[in-house]
Amino acid sequence: MAGPALPTSRGPLSAALLSALTAPPGTAPDHVGAQAADPYGEDLQLALYLLYELHYRGFADVDEDREWDPALMPLRQALEDRFLAALRADVPSSRSVDEALGDLLVEPTDHRQSVAYHLEHEGEAWQVREYAALRSLYHLKEADPHAWVIPRLRGRAKAGMVAIEYDEFGAGRAENIHARLFADLMTDLDLDTDYGHYLEAAPAAVLATVNVMTLFGLRRSLRGALVGHFANVEITSSPGSRRLAAAMHRIGAGAAAERFYDEHVEADAVHEQVVRHEVVGGLLADEPHLEPEVAFGVDATVFLEDRLGAFLLSSWRTGGSALRELK
């Protein structure tokens, strides 16, 4: 099955990579300048996204064997190192897991920076559509990035992780796979459900929230950070999904649109307990030295989601679109 079309470049790094991807295997893109690039900028985030997508559905007209082409690895490592160094500099260090997770369990009283609250109470239909279009870059492969960590866990952590992922993948029923449910939501909102269709429209702040999962997933040394990311997603999902389900109902989006978020309200309330006590608890029982990394994964996720939320709300409150390009 052919993957999505390659997007247009957003700077010299992504331009060099796009040229290399359509050239014969072994063609190496120039990675000079990667260490000076904006770690959260359009050029670096797009280039990293393109490299990571080779591990998922790939792209039309790109040879599948490019996934692990050694010629692409120097650029990928340079981009990853730049992104990871920025996250470590911008995220609090030396936090305990209890501190990091404890913050997630307390809903802020000031909702002005909450995208879910905005969409629930005052978001317009076009803003809900934009939100869904941008989130489709993750939700159409929901749970896939977190699956990278399964072979790197054991015992309670592995059992808990697989139990949650089993639910994410539909509990054995293809029609209940969460990525499929999100595609149904998109249909209700009259959006294109093709995988990767909204990549051109997605700004760097969106790409960073997706890229960080694969960054954590493809490096065994970052397994603790991926568990922290996963814990953040599962703990914050239920209250946020309740607001988004209400938003879908308020604008009359449709039954499938409401169902996606209703499903997450119920399922993730259970998943929260499993991820805290079994996945995180089991991992730290086996490898207590990973506690700072788990906390880092939690906090890095908060940092990137806050950046995205600020971007979306700033765009919408000034009457502008959050999309780079309408599709």
Q: Are residues 228 and 157 in the same domain?
A: yes
| In a domain? residue 34 | yes
- Do 121 and 62 sit in the same domain of this protein? no
End position of a domain, from candidates 88, 123, 143: 88
| pTM of the complete model | 0.96
Q: Is 163 exposed, middle or buried (0-12, 13-18, 19+ CB in 10 A)?
A: middle
- 172 and 78 in a common domain: no
* Claim to verify: residue 101 and residue 145 sit in the same structural domain: yes
Is 6 inside any structural domain?
no
| Residue where one domain finishes, among candidates 88, 113, 131 | 88
What secondary structure letter does DSSP report for 254? -
> Tens digit of pLDDT for each residue in 188-226?
999 999 999 999 999 999 999 999 999 999 999 999 999
Whether the CB-CB separation of 11 and 39 falls below 8 Å is answered with no
- pLDDT value of position 286: 98
Count of CB atoms within 10 A of residue 13's CB? 29
Do 236 and 119 fall into the same domain? yes
Same-domain check for residues 190 and 302? yes
List alpha helices for 105-154, DSSP H. 115-121, 125-139
Print burial letters for 107-126: b (CB count within 10 Å at least 16), e (below 16): eeeeeeebbbbbbbeebeee
What is the CATH classification number for the domain harbouring 154? 1.20.910.10
- The parent domain of residue 47 ranges over 12-88
39 with 108, same domain: the answer is: no
Span 230-271, pLDDT tens digits: 999 999 988 899 999 999 999 999 999 999 999 888 776 778
Establish if 322 belongs to a structural domain.
Answer: no
Tell me: do 99 and 61 sit in the same domain. Answer: no
Q: How far apart are the first and last CA of the chain?
A: 22
Residue 91 phi/psi, 5-degree rounding, is: -105, 140
Residue 34 CA neighbour count, 13 Å, CB half: 26
**Three-state SS at 204:** helix
Lowest mean pLDDT among 98-102, 104-108, 171-175, 308-312: 104-108
Q: What are 305's two structure tokens? A: 């989601």
Residues 83 and 115 in one domain: no
Does 269 fall in a domain? yes
CA 316/CA 241 separation, integer angstroms: 20
Residue 145 pLDDT: 98
What are the φ/ψ torsions at residue 286 (nearest 5 degrees)?
Answer: -80, -40
H or E stretch covering 206: helix 204-218
Kindly give, in sequence order, each residue whose CB lies less than 8 Å from that of residue 61, ignoring residues fewer than 6 positions away.
5, 6, 22
Do residues 136 and 194 make contact, with C-beta atoms less than 8 angstroms apart?
Answer: no
Structural domain contains residue 5: no
Task: State residue 327's pLDDT score.
Answer: 42
Residues 106 and 84 in one domain: no
Q: Quote the DSSP letter at residue 31.
A: -
Average pLDDT, the chain: 95
Q: Is the pLDDT of residue 325 over 80?
A: no
Helix, strand, or coil here: 232?
A: helix
Residue 53, in any domain of the structure: yes
**Is residue 70 exposed (0-12), middle (13-18) or buried (19+ Cβ within 10 Å)?**
exposed
pLDDT at 107 over 60: yes
pLDDT the model gives residue 171: 94
Q: What are 124's two structure tokens?
A: 């317009």
Q: What's residue 230's pLDDT?
A: 97
Taking Cα atoms as reference points, which of 296, 313, 271 lies closest to residue 116? Answer: 313
Specify the number of domains making up the chain: 2
The pLDDT assigned to 2 comes to 74
Residues 239 and 282 in one domain: yes
pLDDT of residue 305 exceeding 90 = yes
Confidence grade of residue 272 (pLDDT, cut at 50, 70, 90): confident
Check pLDDT > 80 for residue 132: yes
My answer on whether 130 and 217 are in the same domain is yes
Q: Read off the pLDDT band of 109 (50, 70, 90).
A: confident
In a domain, 127, yes or no: yes
Q: Is residue 230 part of a domain?
A: yes
**pLDDT tens per residue across span 117-130:** 999 999 999 999 99
Last residue of a domain, one of 32, 55, 88: 88
